[in-house]
Structure 1
């Protein structure tokens, strides 16, 4: 199997038995305990065991490894990242049966120098929306407000109140900026910025724009769309290893004249990268496999999943599988080593996947088999080329 536009690879007929168990660690409710599971044990079977042991209904359980959910329809063979000693996180959703009115509203106290008011807010509200409510109730100009909670200034207008630890009956103190301080805020200025596209957009073109530093990232995005530089889609903007917020200005992000902004197709949670997985079968038997999923690792951490749809590989033939790798953006780009690798000119990944199905020999004999594979992938930035070395075994 090859990943990322690779040329060819033969199935290596190395047979070995896949029976036995492994010991994993279940992490639940702040506790850890060891559990024996089979190498080919279904996820649902593991949940049934946990139901008997912990009393948590299987339907309410979510099992995950490094943030990736273990899907009910698959088994441990489909998850090469699960090995001896792997920690599996167990979370349980609350049952829906109790008729309790779960309300996200809460009462907080807003204190001024000479008075205080009680306000009802939502736990998901932002600092900005709270300022707007205070302005509506009290008439205080939003630009003059400084909000403090527990001695800490709430400087980020786009953070949720819950992120600052605000809960029921919390006290928010309002200070007012002086007019002199307001005048100290610098006027907007024009910036020349370089927008660097990813390799899948405009062939990695770099385009220079002139924009005001008070312009938001969303305004930059709309400019690229209106000029038809980018097609309509979700995009991610990155400045100095930080994901940029759409509603925040370039000045807020610390963008200076001549800075470079990187654009990728994706969202804050997910970055989708088109891939081509090539399977080359040099044997005299065909192989039909089921849906499966591959995992891409970067320096020991799983950073992406790759769905592989069911298909078949003819004897002495080749199969190209077009798919999309869904990268967890935060896990990848916030790693300072990643940017060091990018600047050095190459980024190294590894991938693991297991394909389950049937081998057909001479159109008569059919044998259940699986093909665990592991690939070392190197992406060379200057030449935009990919090199991969893969190993695969036949498991019957």
Structure 2
């Protein structure tokens, strides 16, 4: 763990180009502001989301740059990274410095939706590009949308839809929620409530907890006492892992209640172990075994990082690749031109071809999985049995219902 957390805080393809060197660049590079394309990967590198994002996302972005050849339009590409500590003020301060002093063109990743919402406003006002491959709140391409952003991270609506519908259909009609007390947690609880009620179920209670807490006992006791058939976990990362492990200590599942993870990653299953996680339903947009292309990328990633890529890390790779392709196609790194190209061009996503809507939402198919039992797993990363495909037009909220204010009516 220490090795991964101390992964390069800043990774560069080439040294920063001095002003005199810019003059000697090929003619095409004059279309690149400052002579270098700079991408800042901003995420949690020391807290609850370090395993699902962290240094692994920085590596994924660097892999995308390396696979692109290290330059675009004759200009070098540089990756910077920083730890936002899951605090909007810290994240905003870093991004301001990146824009004002370091010449960063685009910000990528950014798990923790409260940080992403703050960063989105800075990106908009600075006319830069925001590549949201981490934050899951559907408001980022809904009521808080920005013409400067694309959201490739699977959002709260999509990740809850298949999982909750499957659980309700299987008989879980009464629900209680344990929710992380920030915008992401509340957004995902609200999305799940809508699906539960639309399918004839009810939410009998909920409780909120601080992000990155370690003691879930009081919340689990409230959930047990509620009489709910299903306990929805509207949290993520170490918070989800901690809730499930402590729920096992309290005999929640043995007592007849079902745990349902709203947002889960392969890193969570690895931390829990199949003995604790078996039977969990979850929705994933990326899994190393989903296609030959995903397998190939994952083999390269694990060779360098010693862990399989999570959905967020893989999505960061695909998103940075798409951004660089858009710069190449536009012939410039001008934000407006690049955003137009990203929305115009199809997105290559590990064997799938997706699209980006006008509101910035990336659309692709998702899959509902069930976590395998230890006896059914063939190797240490063989976690899931496929339950059902969820087509993109079913998985994601229609743009007409998102409330994005800049969309033409």
Class of the TM-score when normalised by the shorter of the 2 chains: under 0.3
Structure ranking higher in helix proportion:
2
Q: With the length of structure 2 as denominator, give the TM-score of the two structures.
A: 0.23
Q: With the length of structure 1 as denominator, give the TM-score of the two structures.
A: 0.23
For the pair shown, the structure with the greater C-alpha radius of gyration is: 1
